[in-house]
Structure 1
Amino acid sequence: MSTPHKTDVVIIGAGPVGLFAVFQCGMLGFRCHVVDSLGEVGGQCVALYPEKPIYDIPGYPTIDAADLIVKLEQQAAPFAPVFHLGEEATGLKRLPDGGWRLTTSAGTVIEAGAVIIAAGAGAFGPNRPPIPGIEVYEGRSVHYMVKRREDFRGKRVVIAGGGDSAVDWALSLSDIAKVMVVHRRPKFRAAFENVCRLEQLHAEGVLELVVPYQLQGLEGADGQLTAVNVATLEGTVRRLEADALLAFFGLSTDLGPIAQWHLELERNHLVVDPASMATSQPGIFAIGDVNAYPGKLKLILTGFAEAALAAHAIHPILRPDTALHFEYSTTRGVPGGAPGGVPA
C-alpha cells in the first residue's frame, strides 16, 4: 500500500456541488482532498453540457455550465484542495480512530476524518439508440452531448429525444443550423415555456418537428452522416438529409463501488438525514444528486445548501472540543482577504 495522504475531509466528486463543499469545509478550517473518475473538474457540467446556459444559480440570470465551474474553482482555490483526477474511488474502510481510509483505482490512499460523497448519479454514460452500425458515426457525426455550439453552425442537425436536453439544444441551435427534432409523440417532457417556444419556432418555419417518428437507420460513409431515416409505428418512413445526429435519451448511471460500501440505499441513491446529510455510516455524508430524502429537489442550488449542512455536521466530528461559532462570510472573509471579503 502506498503512503497514505492524510487530510480532514475527502470529497468524492469534483462537480459543482463537490467544489462548493471544498469552500464550505475550508471556511471551517478543514483541509480537503477531492477524487473524481473524470480527468478534469466539473462533472456533468463540463463533460456533457459546458456551453449550456443555467438559469437558476442565484446572482447569475444566466451562466454557462463551464463558466460556473471556473467560478467555483476560483472560490475553492484559497483553501488549496488536492485533486486526484482520473481516479475512481474504489475502496472505503473504517479506521480504528473512527476515520476512514479511501483507496482509488490508481492506488492512491487517503485517510480522512470524514467523507463527503458528491458523486452525482455516479459513473454515467449515454443511453444509445438501438441502431445497427451507429458506433461507426459516434464522435464524428453522432453525438450524445454538445461541447461546442459552433461545431454545428451551418449544418443540418437531427435532434432525437423529447426531454429538456433535446428541447434546449433545439432552441439553442435553431439560429445557426437547420434543426429537425424527432420524437415518438407530439408531447415533450420539458419546461413548459421552452416547449411553447419550440412549437412557435416550428410554426414560423425556423425548425421542424418530425413527430410522431422514431429513429430507424443511418446513411453515410467513413463516419460522416448524409441522412437519418425515421419511421412511425405504422411503418411510414421518412428520410431526413443530415450532417449530424444529436441523440438525447438520457444517461445510464451506476454508483459503482460506492454501492458496495454498506450504505443505506433507496433506488440507487444514498439515504441521508436531511438535517445533516449524514448517511447510515458515521462520518460519511452525501450531497447533491447522489442522495435521497423526503422533499429532495435535484437542483445545483440544493446541492450547494447541502454542502454547507454537511460541513457544519462534520465540525463536531473533527473538532469535538471546539465550539463552532457561526459566522457569515461577509464578516469572516476568506484566506488572503480582509473581513468583509475585501482583498487586503
Structure 2
Amino acid sequence: MSDTQNRHSTDVVIIGAGPVGLFAVFECGMLKMRTHVVDALDMLGGQCTALYPEKPIYDIPAHPSIDGADLIDRLAEQAAPFNPTYHLGQQVTTLTREGEGWLVGTDKGTVIEAKAVIIAAGVGAFGPNKPPLDGLEQYEGSGVFYMVKRRADFAGKRVVIAGGGDSAVDWANSLSEVAEKVMVVHRRPKFRAAPESVSRMDALIASGKIELVVPYQLSGLEGVGGKLTGVRVADLDDHEKVLDADVLLPFFGLAMNLGPIADWGLEMEKGHIAVDQRTLATSAPGIHAIGDIANYPGKLKLILCGFAEAAMAAHAIHPRVHPDVALHFEYSTSKGKPGA
C-alpha cells in the first residue's frame, strides 16, 4: 500500500524497514495493531538489501543458509496479511508528543499520528568507512566497491578483499567460488569473524582457493584510465608489494550517523538508544527501540535477537493501543492463520 495523502493515523509507526522492522509489522499484526513503516531507503530491507542482498546468512533459525534478499522477501510476505503502509524514500525528521501519542514527520511532508513508535533503524544512516588511499575516487564503481550486490559481477575477476571482520571473511569464502583469484589483506593473521566462517576460510586457504596476505595493509592503487590493475600493500616495516587485481573490496565497517534520531531527546548510551531490557521501552513513554540501534546489558547485535525484541516490544505496546482489551498470550499455532 502506498501514500494516498500526507497525513495518516495508525496504531504503531515503525521507523526502519530492515528485517527487524518487518518482523515488528508481523508481531504487531498478530496483536491486531495497525502499522505504518517509514524508511529512508527507497526499498525494503535496510542493510540486507542495500549492502549484502546475495550474502549468505547462517544464523536464521530453520534456514541453514539464506541470502539477505531472500530473507527480506520472506519477511515482507509474512507481514503482508496485516496490510502495512510503507513510506519509503523518506527520512523521519521529527518525533513530537501529541496527547498520549506521537506525531511522526518526514522530510517529504508526511505526518503520521500514532499511539506508539518502534524505532528499528539499525545503525541509523550508514555509509562505508573508506580507506585513505590517493586516487580512490577514480576507481569507485569500476574497480573499488564497498558492497557486493551480485556475486556474478565478480566472476573470473582477481579480487582483493581488505578487512578482518565478518564481511571480509564471508565474502572471501563466497567469492572464492566464482572469482579467478581471491586475496585477503589483513594486518594480522587473527580475524574478528564467526569462528565457523574463519574455519571455512582457513580450509580454502589450505586448498589454494584463497591467498592470505598478512601482516599487510593497503597502501595504494594502480591502474590506467580509471581501470584498476593492482593494489599496493605494505607490511609493518613499510615494505611494499603489488597484488595484481581487477577489484578491491575494502570492508572496514560502516560509518554510523544517527541523524535526526540524536535530537529526539531519548536517553542514549554509546551512540545507541538506551532501552529497558524487558520491554524495549526508551526514556519516552510509547517509544520503543529494537535491533542494532537499541542498547541494554548483554545486548547481542544479531538479527534473531532483533526478532525477539520485536515480539517483546509489540506485547509491551498492546495495552497502550488497546487499553480495554486484556492480552492473553497465545502461540501462533493457537491463534490461527495470520490475517484470517
TM-score range with shorter-chain normalisation? Answer: over 0.9
Alpha-carbon distance in 1 for matches of 2:339, 2:263: 41
- Determine the structure 1 residue equivalent to 2:106: 104
SS of the residue corresponding to residue 129 of structure 1 reads coil
- Determine the structure 2 residue equivalent to 1:133: 135
Per-residue CA deviations over 1:194-240 (Å, capped at 9, x if unaligned) read 22332332233222111111111111133321111111121211111
Match of 1:297 among 294, 300, 309: 300
2:18 counterpart of 1:15: yes
Equivalent residue letter for 1:93: T
- Determine the structure 2 residue equivalent to 1:283: 286
2:314 counterpart of 1:311: yes
> Mind listing any 5+ residue stretches in structure 2 that lack a counterpart?
none
SS of the residue corresponding to residue 142 of structure 1 reads coil
- Determine the structure 2 residue equivalent to 1:251: 254
Equivalent residue letter for 1:29: K
Contact 1:8 1:32 in 2 (8 A): yes
CA offset at residue 336 of structure 1? 4.8
Q: Tell me the number of residue pairs that the alignment of Structure 1 and Structure 2 aligns.
A: 335
Match of 1:327 among 325, 330, 339: 330
- Determine the structure 1 residue equivalent to 2:87: 84
Per-residue CA deviations over 1:58-90 (Å, capped at 9, x if unaligned) read 111111111010000000001111111111110
Alpha-carbon distance in 2 for matches of 1:295, 1:185: 28
2:74 counterpart of 1:48: no
Alpha-carbon distance in 2 for matches of 1:93, 1:34: 17
Alpha-carbon distance in 1 for matches of 2:110, 2:275: 27
CA offset at residue 335 of structure 1? 4.5
Alpha-carbon distance in 1 for matches of 2:168, 2:107: 34
- Determine the structure 2 residue equivalent to 1:75: 78
Contact 2:82 2:339 in 1 (8 A): no
Alpha-carbon distance in 1 for matches of 2:301, 2:159: 30
- Determine the structure 2 residue equivalent to 1:121: 123
Using the aligned pairs only, state the percent identity: 68
CA offset at residue 39 of structure 1? 0.9
SS of the residue corresponding to residue 64 of structure 2 reads coil
Alpha-carbon distance in 2 for matches of 1:196, 1:252: 28
Alpha-carbon distance in 1 for matches of 2:96, 2:136: 42
Match of 1:274 among 277, 284, 306: 277
Match of 1:142 among 133, 144, 168: 144
| Structure 1 vs Structure 2 CA RMSD | 1.2
Equivalent residue letter for 1:256: G
Contact 2:6 2:109 in 1 (8 A): no
Equivalent residue letter for 1:118: A
Equivalent residue letter for 1:168: D
**Normalised by the size of structure 2, how large is the TM-score?**
0.96
CA offset at residue 322 of structure 1? 1.4
- Determine the structure 1 residue equivalent to 2:174: 172
CA offset at residue 175 of structure 1? 2.4
Equivalent residue letter for 1:85: L
- Determine the structure 2 residue equivalent to 1:4: 7
Match of 1:190 among 190, 193, 197: 193
- Determine the structure 2 residue equivalent to 1:341: none
- Determine the structure 2 residue equivalent to 1:260: 263
Does the C-alpha gap of structure 1 residues 336 and 100 become closer, same or farther in structure 2, counting only changes over 3 Å? closer
Alpha-carbon distance in 2 for matches of 1:125, 1:171: 23
2:161 counterpart of 1:159: yes
Contact 1:27 1:334 in 2 (8 A): no
SS of the residue corresponding to residue 193 of structure 1 reads helix
CA offset at residue 266 of structure 1? 0.2
SS of the residue corresponding to residue 278 of structure 1 reads coil
Alpha-carbon distance in 1 for matches of 2:76, 2:145: 28
2:232 counterpart of 1:229: yes
Contact 1:182 1:211 in 2 (8 A): yes
Alpha-carbon distance in 2 for matches of 1:34, 1:54: 24
Alpha-carbon distance in 2 for matches of 1:63, 1:225: 32
